[in-house]
Structure 1
Amino acid sequence: MTIRIGANPICWSNDDMVELGGDTTLETILSEAHQVGFEGLELGKKFPRTPDALKAALAPYDLACISGWHSAKLLTRDANAEFAAMGKHLALLKAMGSTVMVVCETSNTIQGEIETPLSRRPHLKGDEWKVFGARMTAVGDRLLTEGIRIVYHHHMGSVVQSDDDIHAFMAHTGPSIDLLLDTGHAAWGGADPAALAARYRDRISHVHTKDIRPAVRAQSDAEDWSFLKSVLNGVYTVPGDGTIDFAAICRSLPGYSGWVVLEAEQDPKKANPLVYTTKGYAYLKTVLTQTGLM
């Protein structure tokens, strides 16, 4: 697999805040994604969840099913229970030819709580990392036997947010677990995305790209906003519209093969999805080409 550029439907319609793009139809998302030039989409709540229906929805627009999000709860249940909980999702991804599953620990996350400031996000300490990592690895080992690899999504408001968190997570998980490098979450969480790319190059098999508006991030940090309040105020934008050095990130991923997914959640009334995804796609393609990844 060479590099393919895809998108997440959160660019058009937000699953966590239905007021953002809630009236946008699936047909609009699919047709605009095709118009921009994306080769595939990750799943969102508006997508059918049976293979036949999903294939029928995507086929007219020549779009692949890239992957889909799974909310893990490994801090409160064991690996066997987690594997059982992802059964239907796993079956759908396999039927669609996906090779990775986006996983994030959500048992105690605050990412969906608009009134809870980021300073109150959960943390793991000591042996908690060991237990969490062992459970995640056990699930990852089983998924690999099904032909699917876990790509872990570090996320603002969750137990894997900061640079130190990411290092601890990677140190306590085995080779069946790869990192989903999310440029926006990394930068906002205090990590250097290019440094993460270089350090974990051999364990990065999925990339999410979004940029940061530094003034909004600074205000969010200063006033201790929640994750969702920050998104509503425009902390994220598409690649090339903020301050993240995507060329440096690309240069730190030599030989990368897989999906590069545009995933910049914004208020569609303030940032027209077709306009912004078009801009982000063009920028990504240029940077990927100029750095030799495409």
Structure 2
Amino acid sequence: MFRENSVKLGIAPIGWTNDDMPELGKEITFEQCVSEMALAGFSGTEIGNKYPRDPHVLKRALSIRNIEIVSAWFSTYLTTKPYEITEKSFLEHRDFLHEMGAKVIVVSEQGKSIQGQDIPLFEHKPSFLDQEWGRLASGLERLGELAHEKGMKLVFHHHMGTGIQTADEINRLMEMTDPEKVHLLYDTGHLYFSDENPLDVLKKFQHRVHHVHLKDVRNPIANRVKEEKLSFLQAVKEGVFTVPGNGDIDFEPVLKSIGESDYTGWLLVEAEQDPAIANPFEYALMARQYLKETAGV
């Protein structure tokens, strides 16, 4: 399904310790997290809040486990704050990731976001005014240029509870931005949870995709989130997300489409759950086995 050496497999630390809800996995150390990633058969990770920020310390801890840094989340506020504020933080973030050998920078627009608030996820989803769209597009292009200075790519993360969540919003952003400056992070779980067809979105924007998050969704919990008007964080605690093959997304055509494309880079398993309920090592093993059986990687 995948050409030899075209993709590498990573897993996000959010299954072990949650940056948005530090109480989830608070007892799990950085060392346990990355050791279990390696033991489960993954070779890459994004950066979590417990990771050392000293590049030398982090490199040593990862190298002895044969783990690479893939990227790390960066919040922009281009729709609500002056561009210069975002740029200053972005440059520090870019330089740290470059030092760690990452090739992509994951960016999500958090202006007006409700993803971290105790607000019904679907009833209060934010949207942008035309002038905010303009500031977002131009700001992302400028950040994309800064990423290119280091030979890196800016990949935009569509996300539940933000102004860029639906297929229409992704389409508008892609149309408004230079494909050489702004690329797309394709996340199966956020698309499916937003009532989009992940395969349709992939086929439409595959030429812009330079990073992939593989995340599954449990339909019964997703439906309850809508019916009971739960927040995004409540949805996570209830277990709306899980690893590929453990939920209700049909991953086979998605993986086949990625494999048949020109995509090269990381396939990153990401499934934020309560580690007290969903043992992260067991779920990492589950995901690794599923990808081996389904996609041959």
What TM-score, normalized by structure 1, do the two folds share? Answer: 0.95
Shift of 1:243: 1.2
Please say which of residues 162-171 and 29-38 is displaced more in the overlay: 162-171
Question: Which amino acid is the alignment partner of residue 117 of structure 1?
Answer: P
> CA contact under 8 A between 2:256 and 2:295: conserved in structure 1?
no
Alignment of 1:175-194 (within 5 A): 175=179, 176-194=181-199
> CA contact under 8 A between 1:39 and 1:64: conserved in structure 2?
yes
- Which of 221, 233, 241 does residue 238 from structure 2 map onto? 233
Distance 1:145 1:210, change over 3 A: same
Q: Residue 271 in 1 paired to residue 278 in 2?
A: yes
* Equivalent position of 1:162 in the other structure: 166
Question: Percent sequence identity over matched residues?
Answer: 38
Shift of 1:78: 4.3
* Pairwise CA RMSD: 1.3
> CA contact under 8 A between 1:79 and 1:139: conserved in structure 2?
no
What SS does the aligned partner of 2:108 have? Answer: strand
* Equivalent position of 1:39 in the other structure: 43
Q: Residue 116 in 1 paired to residue 123 in 2?
A: no
Alignment of 1:74-89 (within 5 A): 74-89=78-93
What TM-score, normalized by structure 2, do the two folds share? Answer: 0.94
| Cα deviation code 1:75-133 (max 9, x no counterpart) | 133444422211221111111111100100113211111x2111212101334323311
Question: Which amino acid is the alignment partner of residue 190 of structure 1?
Answer: D
What SS does the aligned partner of 1:252 have? Answer: helix
* Equivalent position of 1:172 in the other structure: 176
Please say which of residues 68-77 and 78-87 is displaced more in the overlay: 78-87
> 2-side partners of 1:249 and 1:79: how far apart?
36
- Which of 288, 291, 295 does residue 288 from structure 1 map onto? 295
Q: Residue 134 in 1 paired to residue 141 in 2?
A: no
What SS does the aligned partner of 1:120 have? Answer: coil
> CA contact under 8 A between 1:80 and 1:139: conserved in structure 2?
no
> CA contact under 8 A between 1:121 and 1:157: conserved in structure 2?
yes
> 1-side partners of 2:177 and 2:134: how far apart?
8
| Cα deviation code 1:4-56 (max 9, x no counterpart) | 00011001111111111011011110110010010011000000112111102
What SS does the aligned partner of 2:155 have? Answer: strand
Q: Hey, which bits of structure 1, 4+ residues long, moved more than 6 A? A: none
What SS does the aligned partner of 1:231 have? Answer: helix
**Unaligned stretches of 5+ residues in structure 2:** none
* Equivalent position of 2:16 in the other structure: 12
What SS does the aligned partner of 2:52 have? Answer: coil
* Equivalent position of 2:255 in the other structure: 250
What SS does the aligned partner of 2:115 have? Answer: coil
> 1-side partners of 2:183 and 2:295: how far apart?
21
Please say which of residues 225-234 and 128-137 is displaced more in the overlay: 128-137
What SS does the aligned partner of 1:86 have? Answer: helix
> 1-side partners of 2:75 and 2:24: how far apart?
21
> CA contact under 8 A between 1:9 and 1:41: conserved in structure 2?
yes
